[in-house]
Structure 1
């Protein structure tokens, strides 16, 4: 595997990038709910499918893509498409449960098959994706069409054999984890012990064993006795990448709580509390809304936390709770437009953020199909655009700039011209290579740096 280049932002402005555009064939507009490159474990497990990524479409469907030329500039093709969830109806609460996929998480690969978790608002499913290129023939009690033969007509004993066949990719549900959440599930996370995972809704976090579907353990419950006293909800949660007893969850008030399951079975009392003091001079009607954390991610090393709120990305050191180590402005030029963003509900959009493989660069999405990258070492940043013009092979990704007020230059775009219906909420970064995936409306763009 190629070592990820540390100064990635220099490459974005000077090198050619190979890009692939994968478009949904659905007649209506679809929306990618989650992107996730699978990554392997460095423990006693076989490496996971690092040339595979997955995305969920708005109406129930899971799509996985695989690269046909690893470590070279190649084309990504659809590897498997299957229906993950069906629409349901809760008759007890008279509530319709949508089939849309909220989150996808890969499990480390331990054999030839791939495993992943997918969830909608209420139910988590464990899927097995496997390949089959041989079929059995020569059964004694079945004919070639699979019908049972009359035993009295069998005159000779045959030995079944395996015959080659066209490659078939099968997706089969192995486990269904349901009936444990009253509120909508917003995140799932696989533990580093590869035996458990947690599912999170607005008020509770449940711990599951991958082998047990009829029982889960409630490890966080912030629901007050009187719901009128509710002041915040859980927005995201994730396990530590190396310590199976440690996890973190974020809230709508902009705070992050780190919990240790060794301390108690119910982790309502956190071990560490991360929150940045608010500047009274900047307080406004929208302060609490824009401070809500939409995503939280541990770094690959496990030392840092990254959080995304509406306007910024923050990096926290686990040893310093008082303030973030780094703060990056994603689209501060929108601060003057919060009123209109509130009216069209865009202020409630939930953007995700990702690390690169070496934790030196972070990436997150924005509006107008823009996505931002920040180099933590050089403090340089760049704005790039995912568009059809950039989806041609060997297309050059040119940095984009947004101007605020005054006359814009030829290569700049006015903040008043931004299209807020085009937004990149979901992004993914290959764990070992400079390959990224961004979801824009019903398109999935995959970019990689130049490979000779």
Structure 2
């Protein structure tokens, strides 16, 4: 079991994609997926408009093209490590809207998932998926030299020099040459020409751009909407999951896949649950886990059978057994599962809680982090407005001791294992979202300032306070991601990406 850890002290880092006051937020600009590259040097997001936007870490390269003395370089090396800063790098259209004429169904261009692929040679590949189609993109960095443009003499070739001289001297070539005028004039022009060429080739710096190319298109394999994709640790295969089936793909073969999980009953009226999320084990390429709408997590072994419907193990919270009400069956649905890096633990997110599981203990989770317990009396209202079906992401730190997820009213919820509280820490993203146009040293509006200062000192709010009354269900923080090597969390608030560090 992971060792207990003290709560992290969070501060606002930066905001990316903040619209100007005159810009109206378009529905296509809403962020629908976030993913850090495994080294943490790149950050990719997908939006409802079918676009993939890539941000690059730039705090490492601020002084790469500058010349400093040895003393300055030593000071830079001895300076404390800063949290990563990211800047816009590239954007491309991944998916376009389509229409399925056989089913008379419109396929949106919205990006459901983006996943960076594991590569051995340092190249960057990324998977992007909408409801039906998955694409593999090759991202290659191209560096070009930038040349300074300065005023200079026009370039004159050596032949033109002598032709111009003969025309200018007009018959006095012998006398001029004897007096030395010809040689002196030619040498001055030659020196000017050489100097001009030297200036032209002076390098001002190096500019790098990302070239995108669609390598493969994996289509026509899902009858239902795709909800998750996951890369295998063998760097050769990946899975895609929809409501009833999970398919196994090889990166090199886009025209065929293998169906490894099939939950579709012979009679659809007998359908009792659907697949909500699927994830490969980070260390063992033969293991994968998938969750269901009934709150079950199934661990399957690909070595047992071609179709892994009979799971190796089933993880279910024993405390939730017994008679369930109508709403309790809905909120039991798991929206997201993720393996921790050690491969021994797994986190799951349902509507009410985030749970930490030990893979050696399937009867109950080892930790439960409460998120929406204060909303239990309002489940009927949430059901009528369809908010009860919202799917929230979850993420964890590289050491597996801290966890984060989103909530309503644009709240970011962070938890630390063994911190002594199940409610964790709440960070109000709205304050930084509204005040991001101001200098970063200014705090959030006054109505938020006291709560934010308390949060950064490690205090937390209880569910029965003003949040229960003023909860804004339309402002949802659905998508979050944790940097693989630093304590920095990225969260999506509508069309803006906010980063917090600790």
> Could you say whether these structures have the same fold, taking a TM-score greater than 0.5 normalized by the shorter chain as the test?
yes
Question: Is 1:393 matched with 2:440?
Answer: yes
Alignment RMSD, CA only?
A: 2.4
**Which residue does the alignment assign to 2:15?**
20
Cα distance in 2 between the residues matched to 1:6 and 1:448: 20
Alignment of 1:108 with 2:149, yes or no, is no
Q: After superposition, what is the alpha-carbon deviation per residue over 1:258-288, rounded to whole angstroms, capped at 9, x for unaligned?
A: 0000111110100001112355788322011
Pick from 224, 230, 235 the counterpart of residue 183 of structure 1. Answer: 224
**2:421 corresponds to 1:423:** no
Measured in 2, the distance between the counterparts of 1:401 and 1:72 equals 26
Q: 2:7 aligns with which of 6, 9, 31?
A: 9
1:98 aligned residue: 108
State how far apart, in whole Å, the 1-side matches of 2:234 and 2:426 are. 37
Residue in 2 that maps onto 1:357: 398
Structure 2 length normalisation: TM-score?
Answer: 0.75
For 1:77, which of 87, 99, 104 is the aligned residue? Answer: 87
- The aligned residue for residue 384 of structure 1 is 427
Q: Is the 8 A contact 2:89 2:209 kept in 1?
A: no
* Change over 3 Å in CA distance of 1:359–1:179 after alignment to 2: same
Residues 280/448 of structure 1: CA separation in 2 closer, same or farther (3 Å cut): closer
Give secondary structure in 2 for the equivalent of 1:216: strand
**Shift in Å, 1:20:** 2.8
- 1:437–1:305 distance in 2 versus 1, CA, 3 Å: same
Asked if the contact 2:15–2:496 (Cα under 8 Å) also holds between the matched residues in 1, the reply is no
Aligned residues: 400
With structure 1 as the length reference, what TM-score do the two structures score? 0.83
1:108 to partner: Cα distance? 2.4
SS at match of 1:416: helix
Give 1:66's aligned residue: 56
On the 8 A contact 1:20/1:76 being kept in 2, the answer is: no
1:268 aligns to 2:309 (yes or no): yes
Change beyond 3 A, Cα 1:72–1:22: farther
DSSP 3-state at the match of 2:7? helix
1:202 to 218, 229, 243: 243
- The answer as to whether partners of 1:351 and 1:364 remain within 8 angstroms in 2 is yes
**In 1, Cα distance between equivalents of 2:207 and 2:487:** 33
Of 166, 170, 173, 2:214 maps to 173
Contact 2:54-2:91 within 8 A present in 1 as well: yes
Q: Measure, in 2, the Cα distance between the counterparts of 1:345 and 1:260.
A: 36
- 1:38 alignment partner in structure 2: 37
1:55: Cα distance to partner?
0.8
Q: 1:26 to 1:208 in 2, by over 3 A?
A: farther
Q: Which moved more, 1:317-326 or 1:177-186?
A: 317-326
1:322 equivalenced with 2:363 (yes/no): yes
- The residue number in structure 1 matching 2:70 is none
In 2, Cα distance between the equivalents of 1:10 and 1:395? 22
Secondary structure, counterpart of 2:95 in structure 1: coil
**Alpha-carbon distance in 2 for matches of 1:390, 1:379:** 32
> What is the match of residue 57 of structure 1?
47
Partner secondary structure for residue 262 of structure 1: coil
CA distance in 2, matches of 1:229, 1:183: 17
Contact 1:260 1:271 in 2 (8 A): yes
**1:362-419, Cα deviation, whole Å (9 max, x unpaired):** 11100000011111132342111113256453567532865666xx6xxxx3412111
Given the alignment of the two structures, is residue 215 of structure 1 paired with residue 215 of structure 2, yes or no?
Answer: no
- 1:91-126: per-residue Cα shift (whole Å, max 9, x none)? 111111111000011012444531110100001100
Map of 2:136 onto structure 1: 126
Match of 1:230 among 271, 274, 282: 271
Residues 404 and 18 (structure 1), Cα distance of their counterparts in 2 relative to 1, 3 Å cut: closer
Residues 423-442 of structure 1: pairs in structure 2 closer than 5 A: 423-442=476-495
Give the whole-Å Cα distance in 1 for the aligned partners of 2:43 and 2:216.
Answer: 21
Offset of residue 343 of structure 1: 1.0
In the alignment, which residue of structure 2 is the partner of 1:152? none
In 2 relative to 1, CA 264–252 (structure 1 residues): closer, same or farther, beyond 3 Å? same
Q: Structure 1 residues 133 and 223 mapped into 2: Cα distance closer, same or farther (>3 Å)?
A: same
C-alpha separation in 2, matches of 1:189 and 1:245: 13
Larger-Rg structure: 2
Structure number with the higher helix fraction is: 2
1:104–1:8 Cα change, 3 Å: farther
Are the aligned partners of 1:55 and 1:64 in contact in 2 as well (CA < 8 Å)?
Answer: yes
Contact 1:19 1:390 survives alignment (8 Å): no
Change (3 A) 1:339 1:51: same
**Which stretch shifts more, 351-360 or 383-392?**
383-392
